Amino acid sequence: MSFSAAVKQELAALPLEKTCCMTAELNALTACSASLALLGGGRTQVQYETLSASVLKRIFLLLRQRYQLQGQPRVSRVDRFGGMRQYRLRLSPENSRALMHALNPDRAPDRMPSLPRRVMRRICCRRAWIRGAFLACGSVQHPQKGIRAEFVLTDGARAAFLHRLLEQEGVSALRTMRRGSEVVYVRRGDALSNLLGMMGASRAMLELENIRAAGSLHQAVTRATNCDHANMQKQLSAAQRQVQAITRISLAKGLTALPKELEAIARLRLSHPDVSLEGLGALCAPSLGKSGVQHRMRRILEIAEALEAPEITE
Ligand SMILES: [Zn+2]
């Protein structure tokens, strides 16, 4: 099952609670996944279409629980979606009229329900509307493949309404057009986490949070390792250059030819090739600061460079 399908299944299984929220969710499901057919004689027929059996079941339950309406479910195979099943729920003209009147008391029954302003005023209903819209026209990519959730809507007014609700809920979303459809989408991890949690998909939200936590831990470890590795390489190659220079001097004229303070540090370097400059300074008697060691090393390198001896590579 895709991540999207799992999220829809989780949302569709949430208990039905307050009647205000049932109305809001049904309004979104109707606005975003139903069509209204005109049958003549002023009669209309509402038909819901979805690719998810759990969404169809939810619509069925909402209609029955909230308005005591029954529909006729149908399953058909749709080739344009790679042979996936499409589920349809059709209401009789009488039930369609009753539903449109209930969702839409001030509008003619042959018009899609208007976007209810009262939904915007209540947190519970805002969340229910967003959940209904997600069930109807939303999808979400598995977070391991990248953060993206989107709602594909047929008209701008609904897209603007959804965008406003998301903003009110603190979910930062963006809008765009794609092949004539309005798309409202979420691209950031924290926004997606908010969206899933707010709709009630806690299991999916936890999965996302685990992936995000593992991702940032992995990044931190990689950064720390790379940083240490780079520093070590730098230190090692500097120490290697010093050992080479000291060996060259030793072969050419012997370390005893060096001034006493340089000879001492050169011998220390030979016996401790992987110690930092601070480390070498601490081994000197009396101990020496980093810049003191650096200064002496520079002089040793200069002396080695001035030698005509053939280069020793290892
Ligand atoms: Zn409510």
Ligand 1 centre to CA of 224 (Å) is 48
Q: What pLDDT score was predicted for residue 104?
A: 79
- The span from the CA of 137 to the CA of 48, in Å, is 12
Domains of the chain: 3-200 (3.10.28.10), 217-306 (no CATH)
Ligand 1 centre to CA of 264 (Å) is 82
Q: What pLDDT score was predicted for residue 313?
A: 46
Ligand 1 centre to CA of 95 (Å) is 24
CA atoms in the 13 A half-sphere facing the CB of 25: 29
Ligand 1 centre to CA of 93 (Å) is 28
Q: What pLDDT score was predicted for residue 309?
A: 52
Please compute Rg for the chain using Cα positions: 36
- The span from the CA of 78 to the CA of 87, in Å, is 9
Ligand 1 centre to CA of 133 (Å) is 15
Ligand 1 centre to CA of 30 (Å) is 17
> Looking at the whole model, is its pTM more than 0.85?
no
Instruction: Give one DSSP letter per residue of 27-76, joined into a string.
Output: HHHHHHHEEEEEEETTEEEEEEEES-HHHHHHHHHHHHHHH----EEEEE
Ligand 1 centre to CA of 181 (Å) is 29
- The span from the CA of 170 to the CA of 127, in Å, is 11
Ligand 1 centre to CA of 58 (Å) is 17
Ligand 1 centre to CA of 219 (Å) is 41
Ligand 1 centre to CA of 18 (Å) is 6
Ligand 1 centre to CA of 116 (Å) is 12
Q: What pLDDT score was predicted for residue 236?
A: 67
Which stretches in the chain have pLDDT values below 70? Answer: 79-82, 108-110, 217, 229, 232-233, 235-236, 308-314
Ligand 1 centre to CA of 123 (Å) is 7
